[in-house]
Amino acid sequence: MIKNLIRGSQPGDNYIYGSHIFCLYDWGKPGLPEGLLGDGGKRRAGYYALRMGIRALQGGRASFFPITNSSDLMAVATLDASKNVYLLVVNDRPTSYTVNADISELIKTGNGTVREFSSQRMDEVVGSLRLKGGNASFALAGNSAILIKFDRQN
C-alpha cells in the first residue's frame, strides 16, 4: 500500500488504477476484500500503513526520490509548507537492510523523529536520528517501512 502511494506521487505516467483502490470498511460478505477497518471499527495493519504514507505525502507536496544503497528499497522525501522534511523508505522483501539515503538536496543537518511500520509496530515512534551531510543511515527490517520527520531548519 505504501509503495502505491509513493508510485502515485512520482512525476510522469505513474497513475493509481482501480485495482490499487481500497475500501475503508469491509464489504460485509465472506470472500470479498477486507477494508482498512474491521468489525466495530477495529484498525487493521493496512490502516496504519496508509496513515504512515499520508504523513509523508499529504497535501500534494513536492517529492524528491533519494538514492538509497539498495535498488530493492523504495524511497521518497518531501518538504512541507513549514519546511519540515519527511523521508519514507519501504522494504517489501524479507531481507533487512542498513539504509543510507542521500537527501542533501532538501536538508543537510538536523535531528529526525523515526516512525516504524512492521509486524511489531504499527506507525509508532521508535527513536531519533541525526542527519549528517544530508545522509540518513538507519536499519530497516524486512517487510517494513520507516518514516523520518526532520524538523524545520532555521
pLDDT at 15: 47
Mean pLDDT over 2-11 rounds to 54
Helix (H) or strand (E) holding 98: strand 97-102
Query: What is the distance between the alpha carbons of residues 11 and 138, in angstroms, rounded to a whole number?
Result: 27
Name the percent of the chain in helix, strand, coil, to the closest 5: 20, 35, 45
When the candidates are 3.40.50.150, 3.90.1150.10, 2.60.40.1180, 2.60.40.10, the CATH number that belongs to 2-150 is 2.60.40.1180
With H, G, I as helix, E, B as strand and everything else as coil, classify residue 126: strand
**pLDDT at residue 32 greater than cutoff 80:** no
Average pLDDT over the chain, rounded to an integer? 83
Q: Is-contact 43 36, C-beta < 8 A?
A: yes
Domain boundaries, the chain: 2-150
What's the predicted TM-score (pTM) here? 0.82
Q: What is the pLDDT of residue 135?
A: 92
Which residues, 6 or more positions from 154, have their beta carbon under 8 angstroms from its beta carbon? none
Of 15 and 115, more confident: 115
Say yes or no to pLDDT of 1 above 70.
Answer: no
- Least Cα distance to 48 among 141, 144, 135 occurs for 144
For CA atoms 128, 112, 132, 4, the dihedral sign is positive
Write the pLDDT tens digit of every residue in 56-102. Answer: 888 777 788 887 778 888 899 998 888 899 999 999 899 999 999 99
